[in-house]
């Protein structure tokens, strides 16, 4: 069997008709607006990177503390109830 599209498929030159219903809500508000996406600057990348790395370090320290300190382990266990 040959891979690919069959001859029975819809041809490319057939146009798909869009519904002419009026948009409501947020879509009607954004209809005339044009948004552009700008890449974050170097300062913003550094800030978010620092936040992510510091939160990861805090998580690792808490896991180590949870595994090695019985009082902290009991606190977490009882606090979760």
Count how many domains the chain has: 1
Band the pLDDT of 47: cuts 50, 70, 90: very high
Model pTM score? 0.52
Counted residue by residue, the chain has a size of 81
- Dig out the tokens for 9 from the structure: 């498929």
pLDDT average, residue stretch 9-33:
62
Is there a domain that residue 7 lies in? Answer: no
Is there a domain that residue 74 lies in? Answer: yes
Is there a domain that residue 57 lies in? Answer: yes
Q: Please, are residues 62 and 54 in contact by the beta-carbon 8 Å criterion?
A: no
Is there a domain that residue 67 lies in? Answer: yes
* Tokens 């519904």, located at residue: 19
Q: Please, are residues 66 and 73 in contact by the beta-carbon 8 Å criterion?
A: yes
Distance of alpha carbon 12 from alpha carbon 49, whole angstroms: 46
């Amino acid at each position: 069997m040959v891979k690919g599209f069959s001859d029975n498929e819809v041809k490319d030159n057939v146009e798909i008709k869009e519904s002419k219903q009026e948009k409501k809500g947020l879509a009607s508000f954004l209809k005339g607006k044009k948004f552009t996406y700008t890449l974050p600057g170097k300062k913003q990348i550094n800030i978010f990177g620092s936040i992510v790395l510091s939160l990861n370090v805090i998580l690792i320290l808490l896991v180590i503390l949870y595994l090695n300190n019985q009082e902290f382990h009991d606190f977490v266990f009882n606090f979760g109830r």
